[in-house]
Copies of this chain bind each other. A is one copy, B any other.
Amino acid sequence: MNNKEFIAELSKQINLPIGTTAKLVDDTIRILEEHFLHDETVSISSFGTFEVKKKMERISVNPTTGKRYLIPPKLVLGFKQSNVLKEKFNAE
């Protein structure tokens, strides 16, 4: 499901116009981002936890040329599903 389909489905579910729904989603993402940029973990109950993790710099080797190069450190947003979600997925 892409973003457009997601907005359309949410719009129908919450009974608000597409434009309003898209703005709601944008606002939600902006709030989340602001916290992530301050390195803050965000827990959304029954869904999961978002956490920014730092991947350390490392040396990689091009297998064809044998040339070594440095991959710089980077920040990655990780997600861990809640136990509620885990149980739903793995229910017998």
Tell me which residues across on chain B come within 8 A of A13, comparing CB atoms.
27, 30-31
Chain A contacts with B in 24-68, Cβ cutoff 8 A: 24-25, 27-33, 35-37, 40-48, 50, 52
Does the CB pair B1–A43 fall under 8 Å? yes
Interface: A14 (CB within 8 A):
yes
Tell me which residues across on chain B come within 8 A of A75, comparing CB atoms.
89-90
Does the CB pair A29–B6 fall under 8 Å? no
Tell me which residues across on chain B come within 8 A of A90, comparing CB atoms.
74-75
Query: A residues within 8 Å of B by Cβ?
Result: 1-3, 6, 9-10, 13-14, 23-25, 27-33, 35-37, 40-48, 50, 52, 74-79, 81, 85-86, 88-90
